[in-house]
Structure 1
């Protein structure tokens, strides 16, 4: 048993239980992006920002607070323009006893509804221009 997640005290679980819990949560929240590839420090080739494989739009690749990955839109939108299932916020993680930001994680908004004008970061899936993805999102709303 050990502490899990990027936010302290998220859960204390063994490896198999943590993976079952985190994978189930990732499927519910749509955090199914592959982990970000770590570039080789000796590689000097040009590195492009990530794009959606379905529509080609620019996306941001963030870790979630439970160590899974999600593609989010590039800019924040007012909460009234984003379906509740696709609302995320970015949280900064600081080093212990430090003001230095060491990580940025995506946290899905649950529980307390944001005000209509509050900025939220939509999941890219909600804005994807691929017709198949749009149809899946419309089914989620119904």
Structure 2
């Protein structure tokens, strides 16, 4: 019976192809097992649906002690927070939390600390609020695109 299970470990859940690129994907409990091609299609579709189309933050040198400014939105000039999503794409979030009743459903996000072996938080990811609606007073982080107001010259 072990041989049957071993054979399925490299089977893509989307296309059904056996490939060495098949592995658990996603940042929380390895959401599913996809090959590289199917994962990119799936993650890109999710990103477009959720509005998670921000560019990835540049990697910083751990030995560099210079100050790092938060990114600035090119349309409105406001500070934004850029976080990875659970499906390895990046989203621009507002710098403030708001009550859920003030944020339309498609723009609600929460920040989640990923569990690690140590007590020190090593990574925070953005998770879209779906399924169960939060209570009206619960804090959520709105997507920056909800708050983004272009300058009057662009209108």
Task: Name the TM tier (shorter chain).
Answer: 0.7 to 0.9
Provide the residue aligned with 1:32 in structure 2.
53
Deviations 1:52-109 (A, max 9, x none): 111010110100000000000111100000010000011101213x333110000001
Structure 2: which 5+ residue stretches go unaligned? 1-21
RMSD of Structure 2 on Structure 1 (CA):
1.9
Q: How is 1:66-77 mapped onto 2 (pairs within 5 angstroms)?
A: 66-77=87-98
Q: How is 1:1-142 mapped onto 2 (pairs within 5 angstroms)?
A: 1-41=22-62, 46-96=67-117, 98-130=118-150
8 A contact 1:94–1:100 mirrored in 2 = no
1:45 Cα offset (Å): 5.1
Q: Could you say which structure has the larger radius of gyration?
A: 2
Higher relative contact order (CA 8 A, sep 6+): 1
Separation in structure 2 between the aligned mates of residue 109 and residue 42 of structure 1, nearest angstrom = 36
Separation in structure 2 between the aligned mates of residue 99 and residue 42 of structure 1, nearest angstrom = 22
Structure 1: which 5+ residue stretches go unaligned? 136-142
Provide the residue aligned with 1:140 in structure 2.
none
1:39 Cα offset (Å): 2.2
Separation in structure 1 between the aligned mates of residue 69 and residue 110 of structure 2, nearest angstrom = 24
Deviations 1:102-141 (A, max 9, x none): 1000000111111110110000000001169xx9xxxxxx
8 A contact 2:76–2:151 mirrored in 1 = no
Moved over 4 A (4+): 41-46
Provide the residue aligned with 1:139 in structure 2.
none
What secondary structure is seen at the aligned counterpart in 2 of 1:37?
Answer: coil
Q: Please, what TM-score do these two structures have when normalized by structure 1?
A: 0.85
